[in-house]
Structure 1
Amino acid sequence: MDVQQFKQEIIAYSKTIGIDKIGFTTAAPFLTLKSRLLRQQELNYQSGFEEPDIEKRTNPALLFHEPASIISIAVAYPSKMTEHVRGKKGERRGLFSKSSWGNDYHVVLKYRLQKLADFITVNYSEARVKSMVDTGELSDRAVAERAGIGWSGKNCSIITPEFGSYVYLGEMITNIPFEPDTPIEDMCGSCNKCVEACPTGALVQGGQINAKACISYLTQTKDSLPEEYRSVIGNRLYGCDTCQMVCPYNKGMDFHFHEELEPDPETAKPLLQPLLSMSNREFKERFGHTAGSWRGKKPIQRNAILALGHFKEASAIPDLKMVIEKDPRPVIRGTAAWTLGKIGGSEALTILRKVLETETDDYVLEEIQRALSIASDAVN
């Protein structure tokens, strides 16, 4: 078979199954990425969600017998809602990042990669393939960059000329020796808007991120958040879009190509107070189809409590009273204490003083004491 001709057939077919951009590269080790990851490891900048074995992350030959090429795909997602809901006093809302709107992109892209794999194996009898999306060993961004999908921006996202950085990425290793595409020139230039806008300073410099300080990471953790990050999170429930929203290459980029990626406003921007009493079953029914649900309801509930503190939403005090008195999870009770302190007022002070007498967990007791101090200072 003429491999070059087959490559063109794959490109044409990809457009019929909802793949918005496709690129091809070699299966050579990612040496530049390896050195960068080793440096990240030295600085303790890794989130812990990544594949821990750097060799597997950078050498396709450790994942696939005799790899010859890697196919990279990109699927564009919306950056704006077509239907809007707005929060107001008494009905505050949280926000899921754009990358968690619609159906879970892992499922969406895996379906497209499977369709692509079927096409390849049916038409090339000796073909072998291995696909992955996000949770695989390889770096989606490194593959996409080398395959000409886009350049790696200072915000550590792949920026495409056609769709900005609002794209999901996936890849497929294969034994077919496709001709590689040419990488795209880095167009960030002297622009530093994303680095300057990062709420936590997680973008240490262009192209380097301290993942442990990134709001996208922080909103997915299950423990109590460090004090310095609690107010910065605002009303974010999952993820953060700041570094993408300020990027000039994302101006006007909003694509509604795929129905399954369209956001339901009540899911993408839900009311905060109902989240505090939501059961596991209710959470799965409401959010289980989204990428933002993968860590369960605990981080979402903790973030919702922080958001109520951000708004100083006094109408939430009865809900927070229920949480701090009855929730079995210390992290949730401690976070509720902090928010009651932020809201302040005599009602919040009364609740905090009462639970101080019955609470037994050291962490929660510390949070209550801190909250009482915050609330008392506000009164004085």
Structure 2
Amino acid sequence: MDMEHTPALPTSPRARLRAAASAGALLLLLTGCGLIGNTPEEEADDTGDGGDTANSTEGAAAQEAVELPVGSTTTSTAWGPDLEVEIQALERVGSDALRLTVGVGNHTTDDIRHFKNLRDNDLGGYDLSGLTLLDVTTDRQYLPLTVGGDCVCEEFPDRRIRAGVVESTTVLFPAPPEGVETMAVLTPITAPFHGVPLTDADEEIPDPGADAPVILDLTHPTDTVVADYQRHETDGEVTYELAADVLFETDSAELGDAAAQSLERVAAEIDISSADRVSIDGHTDDTGDDSVNVPLSRERAEAVETALNDLVDRSGVTYDVDGHGSADPVTDNDTDEGRAQNRRVTVTFAK
């Protein structure tokens, strides 16, 4: 079907639903990661502001610029290929900000009401607050600008995506240093958009009075702890410890709906990594015996493998899967909290 485009909305700060600037909700590692996610939401305490890029370690080569607009169908929504996310522009607006313009195309015959699949729950509402930018040359991830903890975003018109229409809206990010020509755009519901070119807008915008920018330096060892996973990083390797209680129902190896966001973040980070092998290991607590725990832990690892194989966009990645039952606890099993920590699936891969 032919799609019409509505104009992008002007950018201005809007009140959002965030109660507090929780550091644990700021790292959207490829969320959709977020690397995160969103990068794609966690960690400001451990890494803080990215600082001067002159002191960062050498990252990957700059990515070849793509021609805009560039679109991708969604990988983790009920609409699947009938919902398309389109990167329309990434523009410098003044010296301190980037304006990202994104269109969402609805190829169905019905309006999608209350569309919030691209938001970060702690930063925004019916908007693009769940998107992040990645500078692959410095391994730095840029989170949306905020005012009082609320995303400097515009909501989608009428909070919906009309049938047969590409609805466009914007979000502001801190600007990278001069000389950065392309960035990756990470969303919670698509594969990463690589090589998005930076251009200069025809106009500047009023200073939104934004909070201090959050730019995460991904080259330093980090430990990120949130409700659904822990992320550990060294110079050469990344490990996600995914909470089994979030991924699965009790005694089940079938992934639940709540697993999608964590797995999308992991998949997005694998996509931009150098890894050609990914290790997936299932673990249980010591409730029950090995005759139950070992096969259950392996079945859960296999379920994660199946999901990641579908979500990872890059070819040439193979998976090593194993189940260990209760043999490798990260803490004691004497408390409910300890047992919950031990029920996990770990995903490890090279940076």
Instruction: Output the TM-score relative to the length of structure 2.
Output: 0.30
For the pair shown, the structure with the greater C-alpha radius of gyration is 1
